[in-house]
């Protein structure tokens, strides 16, 4: 009964952010936020921000991204991770893209991030059509939406108007969750950024696609959560653990799918895996055992469509973290995503 009530609660949230009007019995194929295009967000983001100044923006992003993913489908998941790292550090401001000594991009926590060249390629094409108009932050935000769609995930409309940061510090990259935190720590981190416990569970579902290195999960395979046990804590299915230990023997450079069952499909199987003790990351598996998050996991298992449609709503919320916008913000429109603009003397 508790799970059913939570499912209804989640559905009510989803339909206020993703469903069209009059869609009581079914979800629309492409959920869209029912907000008029002329209505501005509190931080001055709007859906029609580039309609006049760069009407071809979304077509450029879609075309370029489709070309890149066709050559390497793993880039789609990498872009999702890149966006999360950017937003969770100091807000969605493309500070992760700045490439200089001491930047977030050069930090140890960012060494496995990929997809920078995709954003650079899109930005170069956008600059040809709309010079000095579109921010790198907006490009990254729209690109991960299109990447999700290419993986079979939901479509959502992206409000635009973000500016790019002029500052990037390596120490800020340490603020991004590493996969070893407690659920309490994760909830506090998410709440400090305006996200809630539903966002935590749903955004963790991005691990339905993507991979991690064997080196990054050695602690998960050979010791407990506190380092005092030889068994994984939280537990792993015996057969799955045996497979992982054989694949990742000697901390090899191999990669492991985050979703052991349907790694190339954007679906809710990730949550069903947790029910079987097949959560690769400690933080993922703990979502199923913690009483604050397990009811949400169970609802997503019981009603798979909830994940698909709530994911779009949570991604919109993620992309709205501490954005730089408006005339009085310390941001700019970078002409090259790797560097701040040179000042004119």
Question: Which residue ranges make up the annotated binding site for heme b?
Answer: 207
Residue 172 carries which DSSP code? G
Residue 178 carries which DSSP code? -
**Residue positions forming the annotated binding site for Ca(2+):** 86, 91, 93, 95, 104, 208, 259, 262, 267
- The H or E element that residue 139 is part of is helix 136-150
Catalytic member of 85, 100, 239, 309? 85
In sequence order, what DSSP letters do the residues of 16-84 get, joined into one string? Answer: HHTPPTT-SSS--SS------TTPPPTTS-BTTTTTTT-TTHHHHHHHHHHHHHHH-THHHHHHHHHHH
| DSSP-derived 3-state class of residue 257 | strand
Query: Is 85 a residue of the active site?
Result: yes
Rounded Cα distance between 258 and 271, Å, is 11
Whole-number CA gyration radius for the chain:
20
Rounded Cα distance between 179 and 177, Å, is 6
**Residue positions forming the annotated binding site for substrate:** 177
Whether omega for the bond prior to residue 234 falls within 30 degrees of 0, making it cis, is: yes
Rounded Cα distance between 152 and 269, Å, is 13
Q: In 72-119, which ranges are E strands? A: none
Q: How many residues does the chain have?
A: 345
Give the position of tokens 């629309």.
28
Give the position of tokens 């008029």.
36
Q: State the Cα torsion 51-56-60-62 to the nearest 10°.
A: 60
| Active site (catalytic) residues | 85
């Amino acid at each position: 009964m508790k799970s059913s009530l939570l499912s209804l609660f989640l559905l009510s949230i989803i339909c206020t952010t993703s469903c069209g009007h009059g869609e009581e019995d079914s979800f629309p194929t492409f959920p869209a936020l029912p907000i008029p295009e002329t209505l501005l967000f509190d931080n001055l983001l709007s859906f029609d921000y580039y309609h006049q100044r760069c009407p071809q923006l979304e077509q450029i992003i879609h075309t370029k991204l489709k070309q890149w993913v066709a050559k390497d489908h793993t880039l789609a998941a990498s872009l999702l991770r890149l966006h999360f790292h950017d937003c969770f550090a100091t807000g969605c401001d493309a500070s992760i893209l700045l490439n200089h000594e001491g930047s977030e991009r050069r930090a140890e926590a960012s060494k496995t991030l990929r997809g920078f060249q995709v954003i650079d390629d899109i930005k170069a094409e956008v600059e040809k059509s709309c010079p000095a108009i579109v921010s790198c932050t907006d490009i990254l935000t729209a690109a991960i939406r299109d990447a999700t769609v290419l993986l079979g995930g939901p479509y959502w409309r992206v409000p635009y108007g973000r500016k790019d940061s002029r500052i990037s510090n390596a120490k800020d990259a340490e603020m991004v969750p590493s996969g070893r935190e407690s659920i309490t720590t994760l909830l506090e981190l998410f709440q400090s950024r305006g996200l809630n416990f539903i966002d935590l569970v749903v955004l963790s579902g991005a691990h339905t696609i993507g991979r991690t290195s064997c080196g990054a999960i050695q602690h998960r395979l050979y010791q407990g959560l506190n380092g005092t046990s030889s068994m994984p804590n939280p537990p792993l299915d015996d057969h799955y653990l045996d497979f992982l230990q054989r694949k990742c023997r000697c901390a090899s450079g191999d990669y492991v799918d985050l979703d052991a069952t349907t790694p190339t499909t954007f679906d809710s199987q990730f949550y069903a895996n947790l029910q079987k003790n097949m959560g690769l990351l400690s933080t993922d598996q703990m979502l199923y055992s913690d009483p604050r998050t397990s009811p949400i996991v169970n609802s997503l298992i019981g009603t798979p469509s909830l994940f698909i449609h709530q994911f779009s709503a949570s991604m919109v919320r993620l992309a709205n973290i501490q954005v730089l916008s408006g005339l009085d913000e310390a941001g700019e429109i970078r002409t090259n995503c790797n560097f701040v603009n040179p000042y004119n003397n």
